[in-house]
Amino acid sequence: MIHIKKIPERPSQEEIDAIAKFSPATLHEAQGRRGALSSRIKPVDYRMKLCGPAFTVKSAPRDNIMLQLAINYAKPGDIIVVSGGEYEEAGSFGDVLANACVAKGIGGLVTDTGVRDTLQLRDLGFPVFSLSVCIKGTVKETLTAVNDPIVIGGELVYPGDIIVGDADGVVVVRRQEAKDVAALSQAREDAEAGYIAAYKAGKSVIEVSNLEPVLKAKGFVVEE
């Protein structure tokens, strides 16, 4: 018997908003270079962004019945995250299901399988991040799990974790770490703003990054 589980504990809107201020790259670096999904998972349009709690789904390869159940039971703002076995040769999601998501207020889709109807998805503006684009159809046969921990893009994702995506890729932030990661991300952005200001003031990369002692220790010599 398959049970449709709820997300056990959702992040607050305050926690989501705090994380949404930062790019996936900044969040990845700020939390100790953790959480980045495989670089093969990218948006179907570079302008697409998403941020929200993970509604996790395990699906069989070339089968989208569990994805359709997830769309039915997900809440507004949820990011549906599908672990489909890294199967590229299937178009498990397209414009019809995207319209179902928009009608429900779902925040986006991240999947390690393929999607199709990308022109329509771009026009619709629903954020879709996928491993591939593929026109091949799927079946609706195998019932698996909803809102259990899954592995996608080499990362473990728990239901309720915060998923953030932009043109560069996708990162997962643990719900219980959201406030700390937001603070660390702000500190990183403040530091980077200082680096940029220093460059504009005429300082070199070696000065700003304090590379001189590192280069000296490695025996770096500049010939005059």
Give the list of residues 6+ apart from residue 186 with CB closer than 8 angstroms, or none: 21, 22
- Whether the pLDDT of residue 67 is over 80: the answer is yes
**Sorting pLDDT into bands at 50, 70 and 90, what band is 58?**
very high
pLDDT value of residue 1:
67
80-130 pLDDT per residue, tens: 999 999 999 999 999 999 999 999 999 999 999 999 999 999 999 999 999
180-204 pLDDT per residue, tens: 999 999 999 999 999 999 999 999 9
pLDDT value of residue 3:
74
Look over the chain and give the mean of its residue pLDDT values, rounded to a whole number: 96
pLDDT value of residue 6:
87
Number of alpha carbons in the 13 Å side-chain half-sphere of residue 66: 26
- Whether the pLDDT of residue 13 is over 90: the answer is yes
- Whether the pLDDT of residue 37 is over 80: the answer is yes
